[in-house]
Amino acid sequence: MTRYKINIEYDGTNLVGWQKQKNGLSIQEILENSLYKLSGEKETIQGSGRTDAGVHALNQVGHFDLHKKIKTDAIRDGLNFHIKNLYKKYNVSVLKCQKTKKNFNARFDAKERTYLYKILDRRPAPAIQNKRVWHVKKKLDNKLMKKAAKVLIGKHDFTSFRSTECQAKSPIKTINSIKIVRKSSELEIWIKAKSFLMNQCRIIVGSLAMVGKEKWSAKDIENILKAKKRGVAGQTAPPWGLFLHSIKY
């Protein structure tokens, strides 16, 4: 039995997220079915995290075991061949495959996850970037957003910034950094942490957008954090602006 680590890129549009579900097609299901076609073995592919429906990944990481001996490049190419054959309408690509230690776990061994959220803040709607950015018609004040983001860095109770459906045992998380970069009419929000609560990144973005619109201040974000109530925070930003960028092990 050999354990393999794979890096995956995918467009989350029209998929129910990473995890297999009864209500639609997931990235995990696409990969596992393609692995079965390649190897004849029914194996679970464990991902580093459960990206939500509509969320994209530039470098998701997964692991699985195989009894059959197959070269790593052949696994990568074989998976991509079967993905393309079985799921022509969906864009999922295995970037890399390598052998790893037997006890490697893509989820629990991760030391830091980086998410990138993209906002297009101009009046005209996106044509090329449709379903790749959150379109906000009003230009946001990124300087105010940077100031407010500092409030969220560190270890906090993020009850106000997690979905009411979140099943995590504790709302305590540590945000390592939040970086906001303007590139012309696009804002990039980079958020780093070891792990996240359900919808945490998207609620943080939705709340910071309210600051950018000059409807809230950094003090409001501080009060929202202290309130520990989901209803007082901003909207959950749309999934299509969010990208799982990278995982550090």
Q: Which domains does the chain have, with CATH numbers?
A: 2-100 (3.30.70.580), 112-248 (3.30.70.660)
pLDDT, residue 138, reads 92
114 CB-near residues (< 8 Å, 6+ apart): 190, 191, 192, 244, 245, 246, 247, 248
52 a catalytic residue: yes
Q: Rounded distance, CA 157 to CA 227, Å?
A: 10
Output the six-digit token pair for 247: 């995982």
- Phi, psi angles (nearest 5°) of residue 231: -65, -20
pLDDT, residue 129, reads 93
pLDDT per position as a tens digit, 190-246 = 999 999 999 999 999 999 999 999 999 999 999 999 999 999 999 999 999 999 999
pLDDT, residue 30, reads 98
Instruction: Find the catalytic residue in 11, 52, 121, 220.
Output: 52
SS3 of residue 118 by DSSP:
strand
pLDDT per position as a tens digit, 99-141 = 999 999 999 999 999 999 999 999 999 999 999 999 999 999 9
Question: 0.85 exceeded by the pTM?
Answer: yes
Average pLDDT, the chain: 97
Residue 170's nearest CA partner among 186, 183, 154, 159 is 159
Q: Residue 14 — pLDDT band, cuts 50, 70, 90? A: very high
CA angle 10, 15, 20 (to 5 degrees): 100
Q: Residue 94 — pLDDT band, cuts 50, 70, 90? A: very high
Strand partners, 26: none
pLDDT per position as a tens digit, 27-85 = 999 999 999 999 999 999 999 999 999 999 999 999 999 999 999 999 999 999 999 99
Strand partners, 119: 134, 187
User: Strand 186-193 relative to strand 242-248: parallel, antiparallel, unpaired?
Assistant: unpaired
